[in-house]
Amino acid sequence: MNTNVGPSAIEQHSANALNILRKQDLPPDPANYHVFFEYASGTSPAMNRILDIYLSNKRHLDTATVQSLFETYVAPKFKDANATATDELDQIVSRTMSVIQETESNAKELAGGAAGVAQALGKTGTGNLEISAVIEKLGTLARNAVARAQAAEGELKSTKAETQLIKERFEAANKAALTDGLTEIPNRKNFDQTLRRLAAEAMETGASLSMAMVDIDHFKKFNDTYGHPLGDNVIKLVAHQLSDGSRPEDFVARYGGEEFSLLMANVSGADATDLVDRIRQSIAKKVLKKRDTGEEIGSITVSCGVTTYSFGETLESFVERADASLYRAKQSGRNRVVFGEVVVAQ
């Protein structure tokens, strides 16, 4: 939270948050309250942009959407996944402040010494020996100040390097948290965040947003027959085919297990269906072989469900409709694409 906000402002933000919760018919539980307190205080511009789109269109927010906003934008402020790096960063900040304070102290000492020298030189009757002594004192002060300044400069350079390392570690940790370890494509958490962002942009611009859910056919049987290592290779192959076959601006993620998702902004349902079907066909052409013997063990097929975002629906409903289309593809024979109720046969 913003610690610079005064008590009266905090009370106002709290009142505004509770007022929005009442209007949205949401329970004032901790997650909901914190999201709208942050919204009222304006401390999370990215989150506010998404909420503004929802609220300006007079949409009622569902609990799942608010919870997702909480996990993405608010929760990280209360608990950092990389506590060690945070502690190290705190130490660097403290050390940097100490260097700055010491530098200020050195400057004051030098200034005080110079003032004393000037005062001594200004006295009438000051002899040559006394002048030499005060000049020598000034020289000593100056040399000490230079040495301390050089030491401070070295310390700050070292601190800058350490800070950069920690920054890189934070970025790497964040990337790892949003990437599937097996396929190296975005994971479910990344999908949830991206879906929320793209849906908000679609509402804001009126552009279409299409989604495909893709599932590997008979994967369990295949995995049980040939083993998990080969099963992992199948998952990686499908992930790569989805990535290679989609547009650069599309978003491919591993949704979970043998299921994948594909988000396509500014693409109509018909064009999305055609794109996904081309990917399905390219996957079906791949022939699997055992690495040790070269024996062919068949091809991979996938079933796909496609749908487009309907303005005003919840994201949960959007995903459920894509899943329902995927289910119809499975029920109608697999290895095909279904858009809504329409089956695209192999």
Is 308 within a domain? yes
Euclidean distance between CA atoms 163 and 93, whole angstroms:
9
Residue 220 has pLDDT above 70, yes or no: yes
For residue 222, what pLDDT is reported? 81
Which residues constitute the domain of residue 91? 83-177
Domain co-membership, 87 together with 228: no
Q: Report the alpha-carbon distance of residue 280 to residue 303 in Å, rounded.
A: 8
Based on the fold, state whether residues 282 and 297 are members of the same structural domain. Answer: yes
pLDDT of 42-84, one tens digit each?
Answer: 888 888 988 888 888 766 688 888 888 888 788 776 554 444 5
Q: CATH number of the domain at 245, please.
A: 3.30.70.270
Shared-domain flag, residues 112 and 194: no
pLDDT of residue 119: 59
Same domain, 37 and 147: no
Would you say residue 318 lies in a domain?
yes
Is residue 312 within 8 Å of 59, Cβ to Cβ? Answer: yes
Over 60: is that where the pLDDT of 345 sits?
A: no
Rounded Cα distance between 56 and 115, Å, is 64
How many Cα atoms are found within 13 Å in the side-chain-facing hemisphere of 343? 13
Q: Looking at the domain assignment, is residue 182 inside a domain?
A: no
Identify whether residues 130 and 102 lie together within a single domain. Answer: yes
pTM of the model: 0.61
Q: Tens digit of pLDDT for each residue in 303-330?
A: 999 999 988 788 889 999 999 999 999 9
Active site residues: 258
> Given a cut of 80, is residue 171 above it in pLDDT?
no
Residue-averaged pLDDT of the chain: 79
**Boundary (domain end) residue, out of 118, 146, 177:** 177
Quote the CA–CA distance of 54 and 67 in Å, as a whole number.
Answer: 15
DSSP 191-221: HHHHHHHHHHHHHHH---EEEEEEEETTHHH
Residue after which a domain boundary falls, among 55, 78, 101: 78
207 within 8 A of 272, measured Cβ to Cβ:
no
Per-residue confidence band for 2, with pLDDT thresholds at 50, 70 and 90: very low
C-alpha–C-alpha distance, residues 53 and 340, integer Å: 27
* Residue 238 pLDDT: 96
DSSP states along 25-68: T----HHHHHHHHHHHHT--HHHHHHHHHHHHTTPPPPHHHHHH
pLDDT, tens digit, for every residue of 122-167? 554 555 566 566 666 666 766 676 667 667 666 666 656 655 655 5
Q: What is the total count of domains within the chain?
A: 3
With respect to residue 183, please indicate whether it lies within any of the assigned structural domains: no
Q: Which of 49, 78, 107 is the last residue of a domain?
A: 78
Q: What is the pLDDT of residue 278?
A: 97
The answer to the question of residue 259 being in a domain is: yes
pLDDT at residue number 104: 56
Residues 165 and 26 placed together within one structural domain of the fold = no
Residue 1 lies in a domain: no
**Confidence (pLDDT) at 179:** 92
Digit-coded pLDDT (tens) for 85-128: 555 555 555 555 555 556 656 655 656 665 565 555 555 455 55
The answer to whether residues 224 and 339 belong to one domain is yes
> Do 193 and 339 fall within a single domain?
yes
Let me know how many helices (H) and strands (E) the chain has, helices first.
Answer: 12, 8
Q: What is the DSSP letter of 179?
A: B
Q: Is residue 221 part of a domain?
A: yes
At 185, the pLDDT band (50, 70, 90 cuts) reads very high
Task: Tell which wins on pLDDT, 346 or 241.
Answer: 241
Distance of alpha carbon 308 from alpha carbon 268, whole angstroms: 7
* Tens digits of residue pLDDT in 226-247: 888 888 999 999 999 999 999 9
- Tell me what pLDDT residue 139 has: 67
Q: Is residue 55 situated within a structural domain?
A: yes
pLDDT of residue 255: 96
Question: Both 220 and 292 in a single domain?
Answer: yes
**Whether residue 193 is found in the same domain as residue 337:** yes
Partners of 337 in beta bridges: 304, 344
Pairwise pLDDT comparison (222 vs 245), residue with the higher score: 245
Whether residues 132 and 173 fall in one domain? yes
Task: Please give the C-alpha separations between residue 52 and each of 20, 42, 45, 59, 200, in angstroms, as whole numbers.
Answer: 12, 11, 10, 10, 9
Tell me how far apart the alpha carbons of residues 180 and 188 are, in angstroms, rounded to a whole number: 8
User: What local confidence, expressed as pLDDT, does residue 1 receive?
Assistant: 42
User: Do residue 121 and residue 220 come from a single domain?
Assistant: no
Helix (H) or strand (E) segment spanning residue 305: strand 302-308
